[in-house]
Structure 1
Amino acid sequence: MAAIKEEEGKIIKLIRVPKMKLGSQGLQVSSLGLGCMGMSAFFGPPKPEPGMIDALKEGMRREKVELATKCGFKYEKGEFNIIGDPAYIRAACEASLKRLDVDCIDLYYLHRIDIRVPIEIAVGELKKLVEEGKIKYIGLSEASASTIRRAHAVHPITAVQLEWSLWVRDVEDEIIPTCRELGIGIVAYSPLGRGFLSSGAKVVENITGDDFRKFLPRFQGENLEHNNKLFERVNDMATRKGCTSSQLALAWLYHQGNDVCPIPGTTKIENLNQNIGALVVKLTAEDMAELDSIGSSVKGDRYASLIDTWLHEETPPLSSWKAE
């Protein structure tokens, strides 16, 4: 159980992170996860504090952490390549086991869906890895409702990782209901809008030349100006609630249900502690309605066109597959 100390005058308050069931196959995780992408790539030069790295090394004791990683998404020479064939999935898993120096990965995701490979084939290989003891549970990332159903019919899917936050709401129409119908846990990545829900337009001031956020429509021009006005409304509400805008945004997700595990990323211990503080922020029905109205007014696509999402990832039927 993680905990932080928060000074309140002379009172020190411990905030403990409870466990939650993720999916219906037996996996238990902390109610707040830690996204690690920002410590390695895509958000400019990785600059994790030494304390963050030390915390990760300590956490890698297998009895203290549930470890999740992904396969099927390669970034080479400025290009994204989605690969979902069985040979690659197996090779990627073996490589991750070696790099992480572990015998088994707790939760292994398909990072994106390869539209050239029937999802049944990809999940079939993941199923073999489960049977061999190399992974415990299977997850999907950025998968449509129909893909989730097809995958779940091959082997139970434990979790679907998707972008869900105050300013990303499209998954609520079909994907979230499908996960809940099938007993699949929901892992919300970028729950703080890639930093926007923490500091608004100021986040752009820290975007360097190789930070991929500069290509995102929501961080550009008139969209940025409009969205910053929404952030100011969130920040004002957070002030009234006695919390930060980050804590308010995370609390909104916690109030969506006990099957949701946000995984905000950070490179700083201070931010990690602040995120944990969201667990004690209470929201009323009126608070939730106000936040819903703010989030539904965001302008700009969440990704530039070069990155595939669940909107265009349907795979061919199993009958079309011919093994090479």
Structure 2
Amino acid sequence: MKILVTGGAGFIGSAVVRLAIERGHEVINLDALTYAACLENVASVAMSPNYSFVQADIRDAMAMEALFNGHQPDAVMHLAAESHVDRSIDGPGAFIETNVNGTFTLLQAARSYWEAKGRPAAFRFLHVSTDEVYGTLGATGLFTEDTAYAPNSPYSASKAASDHLVRAWGETFELPVVITNCSNNYGPYQFPEKLIPVVILNALAGRPIPVYGKGENIRDWLYVEDHADALLLALEKGELGRSYNIGGENEATNIDLVRKICAILDELRPSDAPYADQITFVTDRPGHDLRYAIDPTRVRDELGWRPSVTVDEGLRKTVEWYLANGYWLDALLARHGVGERLGQG
């Protein structure tokens, strides 16, 4: 297929781009190159004849129209989004602009293109979202595709809104859409403001390793390359109008995850003292959801997908990658505001 990937210079988007090229697809990488984007993420495929890059903003209707008409994609994988909860607390407007208005503009452009092409049956619009739209769980239970939406942060509210827009364009205009909602991603190329890279970087720099609250919040951790595999499968085989929850089947508390990372660093980059000694509990973020956990039955039964990487395997691979790619980190850490505590309300 010829696939338009939005946000393809970001963390998850670049994993999708790399895997799609590896599997022989043609990819148009659309990215506005905002603060968290990095073209180094796709450097390994940038010289492929099947790869092209377009710098544009999904909120720009004229640019989107020109992009569809010029490149004639067979499918869209929509990953472009503002994604950091802490940033959404400090500046929610950008999340509404990109995640809501941007998705609307992209949907309109895709619909116009699809209708002008005679509504081809093979066309697909895959919208990539998050399990955070469902809110929070207690000690038990799992999110299913039928769980009611109850977002608790500006980020998750903006993603919930975009999910509803995509569903509505499928129902009202018959645009062939599929929606996925994933658990927490981690792995190589993750921007150094999220939990796992923050832990690695602070540990190596000898700084306090910040853990919100008591570290008891639980997440289901999904290795990013597993996620990319699931997304391509959902694009190719997902039932139209259907949503699929994609989880790593790897639940862990934040404090346990941080201690695992410290133990790996103790082994791979020994210091004078255990890295866990640097763990520091800090004031929790406002509205911090207690627990996320996904029931993956639908994606397993209908698409035959399961994660291949355990959290222990994935964490080791991730730490090894960050240790080996200091040049990539240095360039991003030089950007304004990276590494500062955000989202304190």
Question: Taking structure 1 as the reference length, what is the TM-score of the superposition?
Answer: 0.36
